[in-house]
């Protein structure tokens, strides 16, 4: 997977010096726990870099469309989102679109965390949300399927400034 993601980043023009790779946290019995903890770790690394206004968080199996950055940069500039989902799963998106693009919508709810850009000021809130998700499913009687980190954020998506593209610029590569 490391070779794949480095090649994918190179393919879409992400300079190697801009990549900060973290080791994923492996949880053999509950894969979602490792995924959740790994996202927390990535957000903590981003928070430790005050010079990073925006941080792209990607999983190691993301696939980008060709040339995703112009549309992404325009969305960041025009919508100034808390989170911009470059990839998303099932979603409820608010219509009409954002005035700057016919492909950019405010998120009401959307699962998926394979690729997103987060504003530095929003990291503490998303980190708190992910930790609450982990706590909810690891407590006695908790169920991972009731509290996956990419669904647990629905309430903050609804109230906060989350955006996504109708036609995603990235997706999870399932091969």
Q: Residue 93 forms beta bridges with which residues?
A: 107
- In the chain, the percentage of residues whose pLDDT exceeds 90 is 78
CB within 8 A of 150, min separation 6: which ones? 89, 111, 112, 113
Q: Is the pTM of this model over 0.75?
A: yes
pLDDT digits (tens, 9 = 90+) for 133-148: 999 888 888 777 777 8
Mean pLDDT of 111-132: 96
Terminal Cα-to-Cα distance of the chain (whole angstroms): 11
Residue 123 predicted with pLDDT over 80: yes
d(CA 8, CA 64): 7
- The 8-class DSSP code of residue 23 comes to P
Residue 86 is predicted with a pLDDT of 97
C-alpha pair distances (Å), 20 with each of 46, 82, 88: 9, 21, 22
């Amino acid at each position: 997977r490391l070779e794949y993601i480095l090649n994918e980043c190179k393919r879409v023009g992400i300079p190697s010096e801009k990549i900060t790779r973290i080791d994923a946290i492996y949880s053999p019995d509950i894969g979602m726990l490792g995924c959740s903890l790994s996202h927390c770790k990535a957000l903590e690394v981003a928070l430790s870099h005050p010079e990073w206004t925006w941080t792209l968080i990607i999983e190691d199996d993301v696939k980008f469309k060709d040339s995703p950055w112009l549309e992404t940069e325009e969305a960041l500039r025009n919508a100034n989102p808390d989170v911009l989902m470059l990839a998303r799963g099932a979603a409820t998106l608010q219509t009409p679109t954002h005035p700057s693009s016919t492909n950019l919508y405010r998120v009401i709810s959307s699962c998926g965390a394979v690729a997103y850009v987060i504003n530095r000021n929003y990291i503490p809130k998303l980190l708190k949300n992910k930790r609450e998700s982990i706590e909810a499913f690891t407590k006695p009687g908790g169920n991972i399927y009731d509290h996956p980190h990419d669904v647990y954020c629905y309430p903050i998506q609804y109230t906060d400034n989350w955006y996504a593209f109708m036609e995603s610029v990235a997706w999870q590569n399932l091969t």
